[in-house]
Amino acid sequence: MRCTECDGAGLVRCPECSGEGIDYGIHKCEECAGEGEFACHTCDGTGKVGLIEKVKSRL
């Protein structure tokens, strides 16, 4: 499914797809604002989080 936020352009700063261009449940990490900080536990430094990881981080 193409990302509706950036219309599939895959913008790196796109909060919905985090540069993937396709919205398949991977979103920009909110803990480090998608910067992918090395010490960020939420995204493991990737700047992206899947839905499962997102749910886990709330537990």
- Interface ranges with Zn ion (CB under 5 A): 3, 5-6, 14, 16-17, 29, 31-32, 40, 42-43
Q: Could you tell me how many residues make up the chain?
A: 59
Q: Which residues have C-beta within 8 Å of that of residue 4, sequence separation ≥ 6?
A: 16, 23
Kindly state the smallest distance separating residue 38's Cβ from Zn ion, in Å: 10
- Minimal distance in Å, beta carbon 55 to Zn ion? 15
Smallest separation, CB 46 to Zn ion (Å): 7
Nearer to Zn ion, 26 or 32 (CB): 32
